[in-house]
Amino acid sequence: MAYLTQYQYYANSGASPEDVNWGSYQYTSLSDIVNNFMLIYAGNNELVNNINRYQVLFHAKRAIQELNYDAFKEVKALELSVDSQLRFVLPSDYVNWVRISMYKDGVIFPLTENIQLNSAAAYLQDQSGRILFDETGNILQPQFSNLDWARITGQQKSIYLNENNPMFDGQAGWNFEGSWYFEYGIGARYGLNTETANANPTFRIDKKAGVINFSSGMDNQLCLLEYVSDGMESGDISAISVNKMFEDYVYAYIRYAILSAKLGVQEYIVNRSRKEKTALLRNAKIRMSNIHPGRLLMSLRGQDKWLK
């Protein structure tokens, strides 16, 4: 694809939306990757020959998926309000979560994943414990299991510190001009289980159901989900792209994937392509980590700070 003019880049040639090309120069499109590979690395006089374009397309997409899971560091964020059933439906391109937070009063509260089960399916049973079926032989299920209902209605006990009992409940304090003041706790809390020492609401992801289930503290609160996708852009080929720093790696990945699965390719050639792929991934990751003096300086400024 030809390079964009400044007018195309900044103003999308006057078309709407104006911002469609902003930052696009960082990326190479999937079509370009496949086209370049077929042109440069596949052919009669190349290591890779007698290969179909759809095979290259498959490996290119797989490479992009793998890169999206960790190396790209392209985290998407979605803000949704948690409904009355304390659920947050996972986005359509969700693959894995990075961080889940509550956004309240202008502050982002990172939430903790609940180590206990907070949701379960249930079957209807008669008094003797026999499972009930409908006329077509399907098991009858209630809308909510007891566990779910307890969580939704706020009756589920929590092992998390003060989650259901705000930490100053029942504690003596002073009300001054509408605000409560308490004595400052002095000394350490021996025996505190740090894993559960968090007063924010908790969550647990039900992958099969495709929802995040929250504890009752999240009722009607705003939730921020930071997650990674696989970069397939819901099948929109024109939107699939790869950062240019990984372009060479993607070619190497495709070459390796093809050669390693091809009959009659000498093992030393397969090994060479594997090493090349691994080295390029390492290089690309280092480049993406973007270590430069400006960033290091900010962190190092705190090195002489006294810990209280």
Q: Shortest distance, CB of residue 130 to other proteins, whole angstroms?
A: 41
Q: Which is nearer to other proteins, 44 or 136 (CB)?
A: 44
Q: Which is nearer to other proteins, 20 or 237 (CB)?
A: 237
Q: Shortest distance, CB of residue 73 to other proteins, whole angstroms?
A: 23
Round to whole Å and give the CA distance between 135 and 123: 15
Round to whole Å and give the CA distance between 60 and 58: 5
Q: Shortest distance, CB of residue 256 to other proteins, whole angstroms?
A: 18
Task: Identify which of 61, 58, 53 has the alpha carbon closest to the alpha carbon of residue 36.
Answer: 53
Q: Which is nearer to other proteins, 137 or 264 (CB)?
A: 264
Q: Which is nearer to other proteins, 57 or 111 (CB)?
A: 57
Give phi and psi for 222, each to the nearest 5.
-85, 135
Q: Please say whether the beta carbons of 96 and 229 come within 8 A.
A: no
* 3-state DSSP assignment of residue 129: coil
Angle at 132 between CA 131 and CA 136, to 5 degrees: 130
Q: Shortest distance, CB of residue 62 to other proteins, whole angstroms?
A: 7
Q: Which is nearer to other proteins, 34 or 228 (CB)?
A: 34
* 3-state DSSP assignment of residue 29: strand
Instruction: Report, in this order, helix, strand and coil percent for the chain, each rounded to 5.
Output: 35, 20, 45
Q: Shortest distance, CB of residue 265 to other proteins, whole angstroms?
A: 13
Summarize as ranges the residues that interact with other proteins (CB under 8 A).
31, 34, 44-45, 52-54, 57-58, 61-62, 232, 235, 237-238
Q: Shortest distance, CB of residue 1 to other proteins, whole angstroms?
A: 11
Q: Shortest distance, CB of residue 246 to other proteins, whole angstroms?
A: 18
Q: Shortest distance, CB of residue 98 to other proteins, whole angstroms?
A: 24
DSSP letter (8 states) at residue 141: -
Q: Please say whether the beta carbons of 259 and 273 come within 8 A.
A: yes
Q: Which is nearer to other proteins, 31 or 145 (CB)?
A: 31
> What radius of gyration, in Å, describes the C-alpha atoms of the chain?
27
DSSP letter (8 states) at residue 42: B
Query: Helices 53-69 and 247-261 sit at what angle, rounded to 10 degrees?
Result: 120
Q: Which is nearer to other proteins, 34 or 86 (CB)?
A: 34
Amino acid residing at 131: I
* 3-state DSSP assignment of residue 46: coil
Round to whole Å and give the CA distance between 170 and 164: 13
Round to whole Å and give the CA distance between 100 and 4: 38
Q: Which is nearer to other proteins, 58 or 149 (CB)?
A: 58
